[in-house]
Amino acid sequence: MSLLEVNNIEARYGDLKALFGISLAINPGEVHSVIGANGAGKSTLLKVIAGTLPATAGSLTFHGQDLAHLSAYKRVRAGISLVPEGRRIFSSLTVEENLKVGSYSRRKGHWNLNNIRDLYPLLAERWDRIGFHCSGGELQMLAIARALMANPDLLLIDEASLGLAPVVVAQVYASLPHITSQGTAVLLVEQDMQQALRASTHTSVLLEGKVVLEGSSSALNKDEIKRAYFGMEGRA
Ligand code: ATP
């Protein structure tokens, strides 16, 4: 049994159908990336897993438990934390205060304020700085750290590298092995194909709300991925 099983999920925004029968499975401690162009449905998939958007068909199980009737709040308690696109840091609160907000739904586990300081020394240096004065990279680290404070078994990260300088992206990605070494699985949504493939063990490529290619990140053929990503003729 996988940690998370997504079976034939569909989702819509009113009349617009955004997901057309998505399936994937994630195991403990694994990094699984979901890549695809703008509008492919990546964020929608994360919202459905986190419980902020209902699935209109299909099923989700986490630790073998059906998630259908679990609210977003209860999913955090069950061990699913979302790092949303745009980070959503409280700009008037300090780094430390933002982290304490994340510990509101705290489960037992490795992550606490001290361990976060070790994971992101840069944040430790900014502990009393308010969100408004943090850089994009600091905000991204803080968003991940805040989600970790709940001690999730599954961390959903939406667009970790968006708007960040390459050197900062590298710092953010360097933290993932420390996170998975504590047993947490990561589902990573990325537009940066190379970055996603390097960081993950398994990759799913989304196009117009469907999984058009998936497999082990190291075994997938780069040309095939590009064709699937852009929806070009001749893909498998
Ligand atoms: P991006 O990288 O641009 O965020 P994405 O792959 O995450 O793209 P989604 O944001 O999941 O794509 O969007 C999938 C589809 O759903 C798109 O057609 C998008 O326009 C639509 N969509 C997304 N959010 C909403 C919303 N709140 N209301 C209506 N339609 C939406």
| 89, two tokens | 């840091």
13 neighbors 33 (Cβ within 8 angstroms): no
pLDDT tens-digit map of 60-83: 999 999 999 899 999 999 999 999
pLDDT tens-digit map of 163-205: 888 888 888 899 999 999 988 999 999 888 888 999 999 999 9
Question: How is the chain split into domains, by residue range?
Answer: 4-229
Element at 12 (helix H, strand E) = strand 4-13
Confidence band for 85, pLDDT divided at 50, 70 and 90:
confident
Q: Look at ligand 1, atom 9, and give the residue with the nearest C-alpha.
A: 41
In order of 28, 97, 99, 169, 231, the CA distances from 211 in angstroms are 21, 39, 34, 26, 11
Confidence band for 126, pLDDT divided at 50, 70 and 90:
confident
Residue environment code for 141-151, b if the CB has 16+ CB neighbours within 10 A, otherwise e: bbbbbbbbbbb
**How much of the chain is in helix, strand and coil states, percent to nearest 5?**
35, 25, 35
* 16 Cα–ligand 1 center, Å: 10
In CATH, the number for domain 4-229 is 3.40.50.300
Residue environment code for 118-127, b if the CB has 16+ CB neighbours within 10 A, otherwise e: ebbebbeebe
pLDDT of residue 234 exceeding 80: no
**Could you tell which of 16, 20, 211 is best to mutate to test the pocket of ligand 1, judged by most ligand atoms within 8 Å of the CB?**
16
- Indicate the residue type of 234: G
**Could you tell which of 15, 20, 33, 43 is best to mutate to test the pocket of ligand 1, judged by most ligand atoms within 8 Å of the CB?**
43
Q: What is the rounded CA–CA span in Å between residue 183 and residue 190?
A: 22
pTM of the full structure: 0.93
* 56 Cα–ligand 1 center, Å: 16
pLDDT of residue 115 exceeding 70: yes
pLDDT of residue 236 exceeding 70: no
